[in-house]
Chains A and B, each alone.
Chain A
Amino acid sequence: MQVFGPNELLADVLKKDLCIGCGACTEICPYFKSYKGRTSMLFSCTRQEGRCHAHCPKAEVDLDELSSFMFGKAYEGSPLGSYQSVVISKAGPEMIPGNFQSGGTVSALMTHALMERQIDAAVLTDWKGLIPVPELITEPGDVTRFASSKYVTAPTVSMFNKSKQLGYKRVGIVGTPCQLTAIAKIRTNPLDREDFEDTAGLTVGLFCTWTLDARDLLKYLSARIDVEKIKKLDIPPPPAEVLTVTTVDDEIELPLSEIRPMIPRACSVCPDMTAEWADVSVGGLEGSPGWNTLIIRTQKGAELISKAEASGFLVTDKMPKESFEHLSMAAGNKKARAFRQAMEDGCLNNKDDGHAALRVSPTILKEMNIESGEDNVGDT
């Protein structure tokens, strides 16, 4: 993978509004910092190559390289990425109940992994007054504190970086597709450092169509409700076209037409809906709020699931065919949209000295009916 330095990260990502605030470039040096859901560069740094750029999920992401690192094969461009199986799931009887977003699969898996010491710490994401706060925990009992989806840009990866500094060797992390793209990049040892260690013990991905800018959402919601009282946000499947906000007192619906403008630009070039670079990926299940869709991708993921099932932390079932088709279509659409947008924005497969956000084989683009990216020459 091409690695540049902080100035390229600034020019190609931050200045182009492609930053998703994942925090992958923070907590490694004094120059990039995350605050209230946004990442900024504090002072100029002159390095030609840096981890900041190497980690960023919006700069020079070579999908073939990630795929061969994770699955030992080239990127195929299939809607759901590589996987072993897709099932539906929910927290089993052994799991402590919580304010889960859907079936509680994620919380159950993390609790189980910590209890079994498969991981020595977990990076989970909370929020305080709608401002995301990633945390590092080691106690299984703490996991449920993080239940429910925070529909905002979160610097979750910063806490993974910090966990490395603190010396944790097997860290579990729950993240959105962009966050897990960063984690995957980090795991490939992009700078070929001799002292490198892969400390990602378990990666649990969350499905994601888009997220919202934390500060914009805070501004919007605090003008309408007491944000301290929010328990849960949800985006029910189409044709609902609303964001539902559950507060301690009641539930209100806000039109998506007012919400969409808060989607970061970075989401428009994200080709990943189902967190393809995770051990397992978890999403909702249309029409069944108490259940999750669960994609098992790696061997490690498969082993975790069977152990969690065996110990009563997880219940699984067969994925209904119709739901599967729906999911594939949605994921495929997002992928095609993102490649097209990246092409239009001039950040796909740039040639010569050009810097790309994404690199994908032209054959795949052709199969998806997207013109090849050969036009993107130079630094646009």
Chain B
Amino acid sequence: MSAILKGKKGDQRLFMGNEAIARGALEAGVNVVAGYPGTPSSEIIESLSRVAKDRDIYVEWSVNEKVAAEVAAAGSLAGLRSMCTMKMNGVHVASDFLLHLALTGTRGGMVIVACDDPNAHSSQNEAEMRHFAQMLEIPLLEPGSFQDAKDLIKWAFELSEELRSIVFIRGTTRLSHASGQVVLDELPETERKAAFRHDGFILDQMTGSVISLPIAFKHPQLQEKLQKAAERYEGCPFNSYTGPENPDVLIITSSACTFYSIEAVHMLDLQNRAGILKLTTTWPLPKRLIKKHLQTAGQILVVEEVLPFMEENLKVLAYEIASEIGIKPILGKRDGTLPSHGEMRPDVVAGALAGITGTSVDQRSEEYEKKVNERVFFGAPARDLTFCPGCPHRASLWSIENVLQMDNRQGFVCGDVGCYTMGLSPSNFGTLKTAHSMGSGTGLASGFGKLDRFGMEQPVLSVCGDSTFFHTGIPALVNAVHHGSNMIMVVLDNSGTAMTGFQPHPGIEKNAMGDVAKSIDIAKVCEAIGAKVRVEDPFEVEATQEALFQLLEEEGAKVLVLKQVCALSPEKKWSKKFEMSVDTELCIGEECGCNRLCTRIFRCPGLVWDQESKTARIDSILCTGCGVCASICPANAIRKTPLAANGKEVA
């Protein structure tokens, strides 16, 4: 049985934040779940997809976040409880639809869980989703513990059904990916039946047609809902205060910052002077609750990630009630007490708190200090971002780089979002020159490919993963083909959404729940769009380069699909196609004629430079037996011996 199903009411279990959210959804009786993979949100749907059959729910990885929101909304409009998950970028993708959904309203409860990635550990930005709640005028909740992460889901569904509005829940990396103890509740039997009513009066949200017009009616209705939410937030059981009755410093915090604030207060031993108001209902703010706490406090410190979202709204509120409670100093990011970028940390909060209270933050023992200094002195080995051993992206980018350099016209590649984004780094040949949002590499290439009339003679390429192709790559390609843009879109098809953990996508013959699904052939789609298409295996280095050279000769928008399964894919892992070895007699190593091409430039971690013998060798543990290095060695020193599926040498 899957982890999130085990245990009965009252049992305590260790859950990752995302698992707690998934369990919370089940306890809330969710029926429909849709999302698009994206760190740090992916495990919510992964956990739910594994129990879909058991719990009789519908779970899908949608083609992109906008479609995911639409699929979830359909569930809600048919009277079911639905949930939609995504990372923060996804909210931007889905926002056009959500803008209208906010106005039309929902029927069955609909909760959107969007996870931010402060510090951009697994992203290319650290943007926030919270401002969308404000822009779309829908309520927002931010769980501040693992227990809350679970229990809040049910509360959010109830709120959504009371207001007939979407409810946003914001996760962050540390809340989603850290684990904590969670007490279980029961899993209900849900018997909701789906039916979409459309025969009622047009202005009746529950039975009429679903449309955001007339605005003169729908917009005020939406704002009323928001006011109602603020009212409900006053008594929200997930807001709590700990600390003295009249704290010198009142910390107002939310989400994972709650942990850091608690830790900081303990680090400085300020339990008697500092209080913590853990706020879960961060938009719209509950006015009376805030007023009650501001009144009692000397100074206020707002601790949140990343931008001063709560701080600014608090300041607006404080201004409105200043005549009643006086002017309270509210510190945070706007005055520079805390940074407005990056992840929050206990030591950062402690530093700010120490400054405000005049206490000292330096609590490190001498021994600790000594150890740190020692480690710093010897230094940690430098490790740069690199592709896994046997990664098809290394082979693909290698070929692209070789071809573009040989072509010698300053050709360049517009990058996209996936593991291959690492191709921006010099240790991965630095082949990619741009990286923005999903699908945008091909869109940019479509634009660059039209600039020949202004004298641009550089060849233009884009790379795009298979999942990204379906997500937003297709419209960009349609644009390029339609406008006759001179470009090559290289689809790096590694048969799965590899970067986020192998979620299926429309090109795969299986859906999130493990059922057989119709797979969509990327090459055929491109052909149907009207592009000239070539399909190659990137491990066949020569053929791949030949194909690229040929496509560079042709006018218009072209597609090269480089198809090879990810080295970490479950189907490939532990199976070697070749046993690799280096003939040390032939290896010329650092000499003129090679200068360690394999270990210095190609840099597959499966290849190691042997300082003593001054030759390359294969690390047979790391090597995945893809065989690519044999085709790049200028001395033909790298040998490949074919292995049968059972790992034995082929006779």
Contacts and interface: CB of A to CB of B under 8 A. Distances in A.
Nearest to A5: B592
B632 A30 contact: yes
A30 B634 contact: yes
Nearest to A52: B592
B597 interface: yes
Contacts of B600: 46
B406 interface: yes
Given A46-B595, A50-B592, A51-B592, A29 B634 contact: yes
Interface in A155-184: none
B592 A42 contact: no
A274 to B, nearest CB: 31
B592 A38 contact: no
Given A29-B634, A35-B407, A42 B402 contact: yes
A230 interface: no
Most B Cβ at <10 Å: residue of A41, A43, A44: A43
Nearest to B594: A29
Given A29-B634, A30-B597, A30-B632, A40 B408 contact: yes
Given A30-B597, A30-B634, A43-B601, A35 B592 contact: no
A40 B595 contact: no
Nearest to A6: B595
B429 interface: yes
B401 interface: yes
Nearest to B401: A42
Contacts of A29: 592-595, 634
A94 B176 CA distance: 87
Contacts of A49: 592
A14 B590 CA distance: 23
Contacts of B134: none
B405 interface: yes
A268 to B, nearest CB: 21
B547 to A, nearest CB: 15
A52 B408 CA distance: 18
Contacts of A51: 592-593
Interface string A15-49: 00000000000001111011110111111111101
A38 B408 CA distance: 8
A42 B405 contact: yes
Nearest to B593: A29
- Interface size class on chain B is 10 to 19
A239 B33 CA distance: 83
A28 B593 contact: yes
A44 B593 CA distance: 13
Contacts of B590: 47
Interface string B598-624: 001100000000000000000000000
Nearest to A45: B595
Contacts of B402: 33, 42
Contacts of B597: 30, 43
A23 to B, nearest CB: 13
Contacts of A38: 408
Tell me if A's interface is mostly helix, strand, loop or mixed.
loop
A43 B429 contact: yes
A259 interface: no
A191 interface: yes
Nearest to A14: B408
A47 B405 contact: no
B406 A191 contact: no
A35 B402 CA distance: 11
A44 B406 CA distance: 14
A191 B601 CA distance: 25
A30 B601 CA distance: 11
Given A30-B634, A42-B401, A43-B429, A35 B595 contact: no
Nearest to B405: A42
A33 B592 contact: no
Nearest to B549: A35
Contact of B406 (A42, A47, A50): A42
A39 to B, nearest CB: 8
Nearest to B590: A47
Interface string B577-595: 0000000000000101111
Given A47-B595, A51-B592, A35 B406 contact: yes
B203 to A, nearest CB: 67
Contacts of B595: 29, 31, 45-47
A153 to B, nearest CB: 12
B593 A33 contact: no
A134 B421 CA distance: 39
A157 to B, nearest CB: 16
Contacts of B429: 43
Nearest to B407: A35
Contacts of A31: 595
Interface in A250-308: none
A29 B633 CA distance: 10
A83 to B, nearest CB: 34
A30 B594 contact: yes
Nearest to A40: B408
B638 to A, nearest CB: 13
Contacts of A40: 405-406, 408
Contact of B405 (A28, A41, A46, A50): A41
Contacts of A28: 592-593
B60 to A, nearest CB: 44
B453 to A, nearest CB: 16
A147 B188 CA distance: 88
A4 B594 CA distance: 16
A3 to B, nearest CB: 10
Interface in B376-434: 401-402, 405-408, 429
Nearest to A193: B592
A253 B592 CA distance: 47
A31 B406 CA distance: 10
Contacts of B594: 29-30
Contacts of A43: 401, 405, 429, 597, 601
A45 B632 CA distance: 15
A41 B595 CA distance: 14
A95 to B, nearest CB: 38
Most B Cβ at <10 Å: residue of A34, A47, A49, A191: A47
Nearest to A41: B405
A189 to B, nearest CB: 13
Nearest to A38: B408
Most B Cβ at <10 Å: residue of A30, A31, A44: A30
Contacts of A47: 590, 592, 595
Contacts of B408: 35, 38-40
Contacts of A34: 406
B411 to A, nearest CB: 11
A209 B44 CA distance: 73
A304 to B, nearest CB: 33
A283 B594 CA distance: 39
A34 B401 CA distance: 15
Contacts of B601: 43-44
B592 A191 contact: yes
Nearest to A39: B408
Contacts of A33: 402, 405-406
A49 B595 CA distance: 11
Interface in A30-89: 30-31, 33-36, 38-47, 49-51
Contacts of A30: 594, 597, 632, 634
A46 B600 CA distance: 10
A46 B405 CA distance: 18
Most A Cβ at <10 Å: residue of B406, B407, B590, B600: B406
A46 to B, nearest CB: 7
Nearest to A35: B406
Given A42-B402, A43-B429, A44-B601, 5 more contacts: A29-B595, A29-B634, A35-B407, A42-B401, A43-B597
6 contacts: A29-B595, A33-B405, A34-B406, A41-B405, A45-B595, A46-B600
- 4 residue pairs, one from A and one from B, having the closest CB atoms: A35-B406, A40-B408, A42-B405, A43-B601
Interface of A: 28-31, 33-36, 38-47, 49-51, 191
